[in-house]
Amino acid sequence: MKTNTVFEEIKDLVTEKRNPATLDIDSKSTEDILRITNTEDKTVPYAVEKEIPYIAQAVEILVESFKNGGRLIYAGAGTSGRLGVLDSSEIPPTFGADPTLVQGIIAGGEKAITRAQEGAEDIKENGAKDLMAKNFTAKDVACGIAASRRTPYVVGAIEKAREIGAKTLYVTCTPREQMNIKVDVAICPVVGPEVIMGSTRMKSGTAEKLVLNMLTTTAMIRLGKVYGNMMVDLQMTSMKLEERSKRTVMIITGVDYETAQKYLQEAGGHVKTALVMILKNCTRKEAIERLQKGDGFVRAALEL
């Protein structure tokens, strides 16, 4: 019997297999369904843990790129694409990074973020086209996200990135031995069959979200945007972030609310500068100079 090429591609994928633990899930009670799902979800962090050596390699590539003026561009479709867009949108308010530093492209464009654009993922050339619309260069890093590994849109973006000499990463939930796409680093948390066959918005999506969190958060720490375990490069763009900035200064330096507010105002709202001003009892100008000499790290600025 003749079958479709795509049928042949997906029939043996781990992400498309039936889960033996959930064969009769449709006959279970609400609480039993939730417990079964939760049990399966618990396996995800362990799958990600096995990939830490590869995640570390990817972080090193990102840090080098960022220091040399490069950017990270995620490429994905469906759930994977939305996760890339989500992660990129959270970097500026969390770490005070330029909004262009981490970006995401998704098959079907912006409308695909809120409504599925089925079929858009099948157009390979659009991945390359959307990547280049971001003015992608060899200084940048492209990270493909595809639970199944095979998504044409994602493959197209990655092949284009390699063509122009950029570093490439790939996050997929298929085994490493099945990874047949050339990239600098592949991250392959194998979470096994989904609770509902093929619904990769579940365990696969969770694994992808964990990996993306690790990639960008670790890179931001390595760039000096964290002091201790506190965000110190956040932007005071909302009342919550404004009050979090004050609280951060209070916790690290031990000053009261009014003093923290005063120094933040003098520092132009820049938490790092306010911290150095207080802890080194110096002017704003000197604090800025210390931070520049310390490559943006508060700890280094204080130790000068």
Active-site residues: which are they?
A: 90, 121
Alpha carbons 166 and 160: distance in angstroms, whole number:
9
User: What is residue 256's DSSP assignment?
Assistant: -
Find the DSSP H helices in 164-256.
Answer: 203-222, 239-253
Alpha carbons 84 and 250: distance in angstroms, whole number:
34
Phi/psi at 76 (nearest 5 deg)? -160, 175
CA 154 remoteness from chain centre = 16
SS3 at position 50:
coil
Q: What tokens appear for 122 in the block?
A: 């099948």
Phi/psi at 165 (nearest 5 deg)? 90, 15
Phi-psi group of 96: left, alpha or beta (phi > 0 → left; psi -120 to 50 → alpha; rest → beta) = left
- Does residue 211 contact residue 145 with C-beta atoms inside 8 Å? no
Q: How far apart are the first and last CA of the chain?
A: 73
